[in-house]
Amino acid sequence: MDEYTLEVPDMTCEGCEIVITGAVRPIDGVGTVDADAKAGRVTIRGESSSKSAVRNEIERAGYDVLE
């Protein structure tokens, strides 16, 4: 399993963590999701091929994604 982190500066609270985790967890190739609002980061453990789908779902949920 690979691990990658996306910067999500708009994620500011526990509610944001829940929304992002719920949006990303069902994506094929995603094993675990660690959304950290204090750090403004989402760390994914899973297949690296899922990275663009993860990014798209976070953006679809209304958050900007930086790398």
Number of domains, the chain = 1
Instruction: Report yes or no on 20 lying in a domain.
Output: yes
pTM: 0.93
Determine the Cα–Cα distance for residues 42 and 10; give it in Å rounded to an integer: 11
pLDDT of residue 64: 97
Q: Residues in the chain with pLDDT < 50?
A: none
Q: What is the CATH number of the domain that holds 25?
A: 3.30.70.100
Instruction: Report yes or no on 67 lying in a domain.
Output: no
Instruction: Report yes or no on 15 lying in a domain.
Output: yes
* 3-class secondary structure, 41: strand
Please state the φ and ψ torsions of residue 20, each to the nearest 5 degrees: -65, -45
pLDDT of residue 67: 72
- ∠ CA 5-65-37, nearest 5°, is 65
Instruction: Report yes or no on 66 lying in a domain.
Output: no
